[in-house]
Amino acid sequence: MGVSLRKARTIIRKTLEKGHEMELKPLSVVVLDAGGHVIAFEREDGAAPGRFAIAHGKAYGSVMLGLAGTAQMQRAEAQAYFMAAVNGVYGGQVVPVPGGVLLRDKKGAVIGAVGVTGDTSDNDAAAALAGIETAGLIGEI
Amino acid sequence: MGVSLRKARTIIRKTLEKGHEMELKPLSVVVLDAGGHVIAFEREDGAAPGRFAIAHGKAYGSVMLGLAGTAQMQRAEAQAYFMAAVNGVYGGQVVPVPGGVLLRDKKGAVIGAVGVTGDTSDNDAAAALAGIETAGLIGEI
Amino acid sequence: MGVSLRKARTIIRKTLEKGHEMELKPLSVVVLDAGGHVIAFEREDGAAPGRFAIAHGKAYGSVMLGLAGTAQMQRAEAQAYFMAAVNGVYGGQVVPVPGGVLLRDKKGAVIGAVGVTGDTSDNDAAAALAGIETAGLIGEI
Amino acid sequence: MGVSLRKARTIIRKTLEKGHEMELKPLSVVVLDAGGHVIAFEREDGAAPGRFAIAHGKAYGSVMLGLAGTAQMQRAEAQAYFMAAVNGVYGGQVVPVPGGVLLRDKKGAVIGAVGVTGDTSDNDAAAALAGIETAGLIGEI
């Protein structure tokens, strides 16, 4: 079962609401499907213009590798040239830091990913996770 | 004055509603700002996975050239090598057909663009225009 | 429901067998999932070395656009600059001719695509379709 | 003498079987010829969608440089900018870690490479080597 547009909208709204509650800077949120393709995206007023690419890069790497942002960051810190090489084979589309969150179904299969950017990476991830859980889904940061 | 996220959401919702009313295939809709950067995007359930890139390409060329999709298509038909060259300088990101719609303010200044894809190019443009007008903005197809 | 590796193997074997039966040149066959990602590929002995990219391009465009090779070719013949622009937004990865075959489930949803190259485009498509049907799936050339 | 499709299939099957025996995560395996071109590839059910690019990058660098993954990794650790530069000249297609395995004939000439990804780099390489040897060929990890 994939992520419907209705679910994607809910994730985005709940993530943005959580950001407001946490008093974060303006956020941008993307939801990708299990193939890494964009379902929905929103950038809040006041966010920098280039935020789509950052949000997308966090989520895209998560789906393509099956590794959430925290695990990608650990690999990048342990073996920088490996993540640089991974970025090469994926056309430079991977941003390996927290804020890339895997979406899993109840059996644990990856059904997509959420990418959040705008505040610190850890706050981005916390807002995403809260948004995902409020929307009734399982996130892995 | 730019396009707020609130306005972008309204444009997308009204365009999708118009598509349903016209009984079109599932649509994908992007809204870009005056710098050609993504504010919001939605892809309806059942649309092909690659629709973000097509919707984006229609809107991006519109903003970057200050020419809506219909005018770009006319230029492509009259002078194909010119639009090919344009695509070269813009990194291959331009899709010069109807469905790329300029957003103008009341003085006529370009404040962004909408890109719609999923049905015929003419139907895509008609849904976008109706959505933009229902949202209280001025569109140029 | 997606295409399992077991199904992908069967499609490839049956397509190659059909090619032998039709006395075609050595074929190359790729199977992609619903997100356009490679599940399996085989290139027969005697085929040119660059065949992966051609097979992939036929199948990739089919999935990303939700249009099989024959429909892509018709669009390319009617509006060459449109398919050129589509190739730009997909990074030059689309080969819009027969031999790109959509895989559909019983409800008609696209679950992947097959790309075949090596003989004429029409023979490539015929072998693919026979292979897909022998494997118990629904193909659209 | 090159690697036939029959041999490539055997390598892939035996590598996957070894992965099951070692209880590894789902693997993806590519076999390239002496020119670095894809002969065959399989991705197991449950593997992340982007695994083709990683498997390919491990094998491609091995063939193009005539250096297996372990030697590439040592070079990357000693001189990161060199492997970054190598990736520049090869279009970002090199992943310099274990799991890229050279195939040699009995005289020691390189006749292709195998790329495996899915578990740790060392386990990927061990499965590949076992698969290659069971298939009656000589591998260098």
Query: Residue C87 corresponds to which amino acid?
Result: N
Q: B83 and C85: CB-CB below 8 Å? A: yes
- Of the pLDDT bands very low, low, confident and very high (cuts 50, 70, 90), residue D44 is very high
pLDDT of C33-54, one tens digit each? 999 999 999 999 999 999 999 9
CA distance B38 to B3: 11
Answer yes or no: is pLDDT of B78 > 90: yes
Nearest CA in chain D to C32: D49
CA B13 to chain centre: 14
Answer yes or no: is pLDDT of C1 > 70: no
Instruction: Note whether A92 contacts D: Cβ–Cβ < 8 A.
Output: yes
Mean pLDDT, all residues of chain C? 96
Size of interface B-C (CB pairs under 8 A): 61
Distance from CA of B50 to the nearest CA of C (A): 4
Residue A135: predicted pLDDT: 87
Name the A residues in 34-73 with CB < 8 Å from any C CB. 34-37
CA distance C15 to C9: 10
Instruction: Note whether B13 contacts A: Cβ–Cβ < 8 A.
Output: no
Percent of chain B with pLDDT over 70: 99
Distance from CA of C120 to the nearest CA of A (A): 31
Kindly state the average pLDDT of the residues D15-35.
98
CA distance D53 to A121: 27
Answer yes or no: is pLDDT of D13 > 70: yes
Per-residue pLDDT of chain A (141 residues; tens, 9 = 90+): 689 999 999 999 999 999 999 999 999 999 999 999 999 999 999 999 999 999 999 999 999 999 999 999 999 999 999 999 999 999 999 999 999 999 999 899 999 999 999 999 999 999 999 999 998 999 999
Tell me whether strands C38-43 and B110-117 are parallel, antiparallel or unpaired. unpaired
Nearest CA in chain C to B83: C81
Distance from CA of A112 to the nearest CA of C (A): 11
Q: Report residue A76 as tokens.
A: 């990048």
Residue B1: predicted pLDDT: 67
Residue C100: predicted pLDDT: 98
- Of the pLDDT bands very low, low, confident and very high (cuts 50, 70, 90), residue C98 is very high
pLDDT of C101-123, one tens digit each? 999 998 999 999 999 999 999 99
Residue D1: predicted pLDDT: 67
List of domains in chain D: 21-140 (3.30.450.150)
Scored b (16 or more CB within 10 A) or e, B21-32 reads eeebbbbbbbbb
- Of the pLDDT bands very low, low, confident and very high (cuts 50, 70, 90), residue C135 is confident
CA distance B111 to B127: 19
Distances A43 to A70, A130, B30 between C-alpha atoms, Å: 23, 18, 12
pLDDT of D94-105, one tens digit each? 999 999 999 999
Q: Report residue B16 as tokens.
A: 């999708």
Nearest CA in chain A to B46: A4
Give partners of C (≥3 CB pairs < 8 A). Answer: A, B, D
Any contact of D with C, at least 3 CB pairs below 8 A? yes
Strands of C5-133 (E only): list them: 28-33, 38-43, 100-104, 110-117
Q: Which of A64, A84, A85 minimises the CB distance to D50?
A: A64
Distance from CA of D6 to the nearest CA of A (A): 28
Q: C85 and B80: CB-CB below 8 Å? A: no
Mutate to test the interface with C, among D7, D10, D12, D45 (most CBs of C within 10 A): D45
Q: A89 and D53: CB-CB below 8 Å? A: yes
Q: What ipTM was assigned to the predicted interfaces of this complex?
A: 0.96
Kindly state the average pLDDT of the residues D20-44.
98
Kindly state the average pLDDT of the residues C133-137.
91
Q: What are phi and psi of D51, to 5 degrees?
A: -70, -25
User: Chain C residues with CB inside 8 Å of D42's CB?
Assistant: 5, 8-9, 39-40
Q: D43 and C40: CB-CB below 8 Å? A: yes
Instruction: Note whether C91 contacts A: Cβ–Cβ < 8 A.
Output: yes
pLDDT of D92-132, one tens digit each? 999 999 999 999 998 999 999 999 999 999 999 999 999 99
Any contact of A with C, at least 3 CB pairs below 8 A? yes
Instruction: Note whether C108 contacts B: Cβ–Cβ < 8 A.
Output: no
Q: A33 and C35: CB-CB below 8 Å? A: yes
